[in-house]
Chains A and B, each alone.
Chain A
Amino acid sequence: MSLIFIVSIVIALAAIGYVLGVRRAVSSADGDQRILHSLKGYYGQNVALTVLVPSMLVLAIWAIAQPLLIDQSVSGLLDLEEGRAQSLAMADVRRVAEGLDTAIAQGALTADAAANMDADTTDVRDLLGDIGVAIGSDVTAETLNAAQRYRGLSNTGSWARGFVVLAIALAGFAFALSRITKDFRARNIVERGVLVLLIAAASVAVLTTIGIVLSLIFNTINFLQAYPAADFFFGTRWEPSFSGRGGSSELGFLPLIWGTMFISVISLIVAVPLGLFSAIYLSEYASPRVRSIAKPMLEILAGIPTIVYGLFALLTVGPLLVSAFGQGGFFGVDWMSGGTAAMTAGLVMGIMLIPFVSSLSDDIINAVPQAMRDGSYGLGATQSETIRQVIMPAALPGIVGAILLAASRAIGETMIVVLGAGAAASLSLSPFEAMTTVTAKIVSQLTGDGEFNSPETMVAFALGMTLFVITLCLNVFALYIVRKYREQYD
């Protein structure tokens, strides 16, 4: 039974349940709605919720559990050790099984023929190739057997899933309907149910964090088992081999974090003064008219997708910088040989970060009480003296928080560095050389052709883990400062 079919039946059942529930409630009160405990709609909602929630929950759990159980049972047939060979073999089995399904759907095979096919007498690969399913290698008897078992189990599983889910839905339907009397406290029960759903929704955010942490931790542990931790954290060379063997790869973390920090610092050197002065001007000097134009203008910069900045860095800023600092360039120095460099990415990222710094600082400067300004003016200070000597010191913790948030953005930014910073990992001191960052290498290691379980690919998770930890620390610290600061003047 297909998923859509089951879901639509359950929804239809819930709708019928709503109508019947309302009717039954009204008739139990002999048509006099005033003597019902709750408004009549609640009786219907109670039935609908009792039908929907448990059955959908079971469906979701089933959808996750079934593939896992089937994999386990089928991989027993393959007689292989745990690990890479097994996961590859399972991928083959799944492809053959899907191919058989397609063959049946197209009418090239009957269901019986597919179930009783023998790898010794039929060339399964040719047969599936004819209907457009390409299989990498010849299908062995073992694989075909496993694929048939896989299909059988999936088939049984999906029927069982249908029956169980529908049975639960029907049971809920009958149970909820049978409970309806005029004194039944439907509203209280519905409200309790809704509250549980609200809590479930709120916990999605927590589950996301847990999911991130778990997926990073497990894969990082896998990586560190295949590659020595000391070499990863303190290695100064980043030279992954492309063969996927792992032995000859050098996966040192230092050049990547160096590139990340270098580019982030350049971007902050651009963004902090520009953002801070913009914020000061907007909050202290600008007339409401100027403010109403300039503030949205800066915020547009924050709304532009990073791919646009990346393309701008790659195709416009890079060549421009080369024509200024490259060989035969405007300044007559030969510092830059290619358009992709730390400077290119840093400059563009700096522009992107201006609104992050400016709008947060703007809020914080505005939160400094007017009395402090008035006191300073009263003593004869000019406006700029007031800003430098009174407002800035008062707002400093908040502004530091804003800068830290911007730094965490810069460290985690991906598209600008993927397109603008280059691909070579180096520990260079020159901002005009190509550099690479943690994020750029996560992308290149996970989108490459490497096998999934090789250290070259798994290293991306370790990189992701360090990235997550660094930005998390920065964020927690920055948010703590900002929050603390807001409380101070509230």
Chain B
Amino acid sequence: MTDLSSTEPATHRSLKVADARTKKRNAAEKRFRAYGIVAIAIGGLFLLALTYNILKAGLPAFTQYVVELEVTLTQDEFDAAESQMLKTAAYTDIFIGNFEANLEERGVEVPYDGDAIERLLGKVGGDIRSYYRENLDDIGQPVTFQLQTSSRVEGYFKGRVNRDTIVDSRFLMGSDLDIVDALRDAGVLTSRFNWAFVTGTDSGVDNPGGAGIGASAIGSFFMMLVVLFLSLPIGVAASIYLEEFAPKNRLTDLVEVNISNLAAVPSIVFGILGLSVFIQFAHLPQSAPLVGGLVLTLMTLPTIIISTRASLKSVPPSIRDAALGIGASKMQSVFHHVLPLAMPGILTGTIIGLAQALGETAPLLLIGMVGFVAREYPDGVVSGFMDPNSAMPAQIYTWAARADVGFYEKAWGGIIILLIFLLLMNALAIFLRKKFERRW
């Protein structure tokens, strides 16, 4: 002690005044703390930016612009139009007549011609004709038609097309925008919620306006059914064996290492497995939700096994011992006591695994669920499993890969729907955990 005091000459400083070294250390402490806050803030900012971007780009997909027009078609007009050579042209003329009367009634004055109508609303004549041919009773009565505007006009409202950049083409002329504005001011052209996007089927590559995600959502639904009914029983059975019955030996170790590795295998490798085993070898149909479901089952199985084992492990041994003590067999103690107590945890893990599977895209690309135009709904349960369909994430990818900019909006809109499903599933999982969680 005396040595120490002799080598360092005593300095008379107050403890309240920090010396340079202390200041430096304190500054370093503050900096270090700030790094942490900045790191988390960047993560948070990114999340906000992503959410903002998704909503900004995706919400317009849920709006649709329609021209509402009341048309009364008399029997004479119908007969006259049906007897002509160019039937749809005749209907277009009838429509334009009605349109003119309607505009006059509302006091809108704007010059237009038949071509402009076609550019704005597409082939109205065909739409009207097919309506009346199916609903012959409506002839002579006023019918309100809601005609969807073309994707270019939608682009004008949504900011993709504007007056400064528009180039006259056969799709849209600069003068058409005057008509559009006049119609909107008069209340003929209105916006409404785009149900066709939520429930509809995919459209061709040149018609982004008509594309819907409904059919591929059905495809996703059938895939999730397959995943649920295969991965839950298999996963639970495998976990019960590994957690409760497996002898502690090298073989069991191997299985465990194998499962934790399988959880980290890239998802695209599962796609390769699906392609070569289910399609090449077993000749199951390409693009079928059944095959997609099988691939996703194999992919989610490790996740489900890991979470199920964790919840089996959390059931205290005293429960098992008590069951064994009153004469239950090992199997009975597991199935009658441990498993029911672990069930909430298992369900939570399963739902989270399903949510993961729902958003997975890469393996689906390889088994042919992409580039496929899901034009139709499946006819029934068997066709739902076996007929080619798309799935929501694959559909989003298809749209993102198409050339027409109009599809990007659909892709973002599809992402909103996908995220709503994921949010609901995760909320359900959290709710189950909160409600049934049991701390021993």
Give A contacts to B, CB under 8 Å.
Answer: 4, 64, 67, 187, 191, 194-195, 197-206, 208-209, 211-212, 215-216, 218-219, 273-278, 280-282, 285, 294, 297-298, 300-301, 303-308, 310-312, 314-316, 351, 354-355, 382-385, 387-388, 405, 408-409, 411-415, 418-419, 439, 442-443, 446-447, 452, 460-461, 464, 467-468, 471-472, 475-476, 479
Q: Which of B31-39, B90-98, B107-115, B147-155 contacts A (4 or more CB under 8 A)?
A: B31-39
| Chain B nearest Cβ from A483, distance in angstroms | 9
A-B contacts, 12 listed (Cβ < 8 Å): A64-B282, A277-B38, A297-B43, A301-B43, A304-B50, A307-B397, A307-B418, A354-B43, A461-B272, A464-B272, A471-B265, A472-B265
Min distance, Cβ B116 to any Cβ of chain A, angstroms: 32
In the complex, chain A residues whose CB is within 8 Å of the CB of B366? 442-443, 446-447
B residues 32-81 near A (Cβ < 8 Å) are 32-33, 35-40, 42-44, 46-47, 50, 53-54, 57
CB of B366, distance to nearest CB on chain A (Å): 5
A interface: dominant SS = helix
Partner of A201, one of B237, B283, B356: B237
Q: Is the CB of B28 within 8 A of A384?
A: yes
A384-B33 CB under 8 A given contacts A209-B262, A212-B273, A311-B400: yes
In the complex, what distance in Å separates the CA atom of A447 from the CA atom of B237? 36
Residue of B nearest to A4 (CB): B382
B242 within 8 A of A: yes
Choose the segment among B156-164, B180-188, B252-260 that binds chain A (4+ C-beta atoms closer than 8 Å).
B252-260
Task: Please determine whether B411 and A412 come into contact, CB atoms closer than 8 angstroms.
Answer: no
Residues of A within 8 A of B57 (CB): 315-316
The CA of A218 and the CA of B273, in the complex, are separated in Å by 12
Report yes or no: A191 in contact with B329, Cβ–Cβ below 8 A: yes
Q: How far is the CB of B288 from chain A (nearest CB, A)?
A: 15
Q: Is the CB of B268 within 8 A of A311?
A: no
- Name which of B129-137, B298-306, B340-348 contacts chain A: B298-306
CB < 8 Å neighbour of A307 from B38, B40, B233, B359: B359
The reply to whether B361 and A208 contact each other, CB–CB distance below 8 Å, is no
Interface centre among A305, A461, A475 (most CB of B within 10 A): A305
Across the A-B interface, give the 8 residue pairs with the lowest CB-CB distance, nearest first: A412-B266, A281-B36, A305-B359, A201-B237, A277-B39, A384-B32, A215-B276, A414-B362
What's the A-B contact tally at a CB cutoff of 8 Å? 249
- A206→B305 CA distance, assembly (Å): 13
Q: A211-B277, A467-B268 are contacts. A310–B400 as well, Cβ < 8 Å?
A: yes
Partner of B40, one of A215, A282, A464: A282
Establish whether residues B371 and A405, one from each chain, have CB atoms under 8 Å apart when the complex forms. Answer: no
B227 CB–A CB distance under 8 Å: no
Tell whether, in the assembled complex, residue B25 and residue A382 are in contact, meaning their CB atoms are under 8 Å apart: yes
Question: In the complex, what residue of chain B is closest to A298 when comparing beta carbons?
Answer: B43
Kindly state whether residue B431 has any CB partner on chain A within 8 Å.
no
From the candidates A354, A383, A468, name the one contacting B269 in the complex (CB within 8 A): A468
Which residues of B sit under 8 angstroms from A204, Cβ to Cβ? 234, 238, 298, 301
Give bound CA distance, A382 to B382, whole Å.
Answer: 67
CA distance A155 to B396 in the complex (A): 41
Let me know if B273 and A415 touch, CB within 8 A: no
Q: Taking the nearest CB of chain B, how far is it from the CB of A195, in angstroms?
A: 6
Q: How far is the CA of A476 from the CA of B330 in the complex (A)?
A: 34
Nearest-CB distance from B12 to chain A (Å)? Answer: 21
Which chain B positions have C-beta within 8 A of A446?
Answer: 272, 275, 365-366
Asked whether any CB of chain A lies closer than 8 Å to the CB of B360, the reply is yes
Measured CB to CB, the residues of B under 8 A from A are 25-26, 28-29, 31-33, 35-40, 42-44, 46-47, 50, 53-54, 57, 233-235, 237-238, 240-242, 245-246, 254-255, 257-262, 264-270, 272-273, 275-277, 280, 282-283, 298, 301-302, 305, 329-331, 355-356, 358-362, 365-366, 368, 370-371, 382, 393, 396-397, 400, 408, 411-412, 415, 418-419, 422, 426
Q: Are B43 and A305 in contact (CB under 8 A)?
A: no
Judging by beta carbons under 8 Å apart, are A208 and B47 in contact?
A: no
> B258's contact among A205, A315, A452, by CB below 8 Å, is which?
A205
**What chain B residues lie within 8 Å of A206 (beta carbons)?**
254-255, 258
Nearest residue, chain A, Cβ from B38: A277
Closest approach, in angstroms, between the C-beta of A198 and any C-beta of chain B? Answer: 4
A316 to B40, CA, bound (A): 22
> Do the beta carbons of B43 and A467 come within 8 Å of each other?
no
CB pair A471 B264 closer than 8 Å: yes
Q: Once bound together, how far apart are the Cα atoms of A472 and B257, in whole Å? A: 11
Contact partner, B272, options A202, A216, A300, A405, Cβ 8 Å: A216
For the complex, give the distance between the alpha carbons of A475 and B245 in Å: 27
Contacts of B260 in A (CB 8 A): 475, 479
Cα-based distance from A208 to B296 in the complex (angstroms): 12
CB pair A411–B266 under 8 Å, yes or no, is: yes
Complex Cα gap A182–B167 (Å): 91
Contact of A439 with B412 in the complex, beta carbons under 8 Å = no
Q: Contacts A67-B283, A439-B362 given: A219-B276 contact, CB under 8 Å?
A: yes
Closest Cβ neighbor of A302 among chain B residues = B356
Pairwise interchain contact A209-B32, C-beta atoms closer than 8 A: no
Contact between chains at A201 and B408 (CB < 8 Å)? no
Q: A351 with B268: in contact, given A198-B245, A278-B36, A312-B53 (CB under 8 Å)?
A: no
A353 CB to closest chain B CB (Å) equals: 11
A308 contacts B419, C-beta separation under 8 Å:
yes
Q: Quick check: A274 and B42 within 8 Å, CB to CB?
A: yes
Q: A315: nearest residue on chain B (CB-CB)?
A: B408
Contacts of A384 in B (CB 8 A): 28-29, 31-33
Q: B400 and A187: CB pair below 8 A?
A: no
Residues of B close to A281: CB separation below 8 A? 33, 35-37, 39-40
Among A280, A442, A447, A472, the residue within 8 A (CB) of B370 is A447
CA A203 – CA B251 in complex, angstroms? 11
Q: Which residue of A lies closest to B233 (CB)?
A: A201
Instruction: Say yes or no: A298-B261 contact (C-beta < 8 A), given A382-B29, A419-B400, A443-B365.
Output: no
- Determine whether the beta carbon of B400 is less than 8 Å from that of A312: no
Beyond the given pairs A206-B254, A415-B397, A468-B269, 5 more chain A to chain B contacts, judged by CB atoms under 8 angstroms and listed by A's residue number, are: A67-B283, A205-B301, A281-B36, A306-B360, A414-B267
Tell me the bound Cα distance from A300 to B411 in angstroms: 21
With A212-B269, A305-B393, A415-B361 known to touch, is A383 a contact of B29 (CB < 8 Å)?
yes
Asked if residues B360 and A305 are in contact (CB atoms below 8 Å), the reply is yes
CB pair B273–A211 under 8 Å, yes or no, is yes
Contact A194 B331 (CB under 8 A): yes
CB-defined contacts of B35 to chain A, threshold 8 Å: 277, 281
Bound CA–CA A199/B240 (angstroms) = 9
> Contacts of A218 on B, CB cut-off 8 Å?
276
The 8 Å CB contact of A205, one of B28, B246, B305, B400, is B305
Q: How far is the CA of A377 from the CA of B43 in the complex (A)?
A: 30
The docked-state distance in angstroms from the alpha carbon of A118 to that of B359 is 50
Q: Is the CB of A447 within 8 A of B415?
A: no
Residue numbers in B under 8 Å from A315 (CB-CB): 57, 400, 408, 412
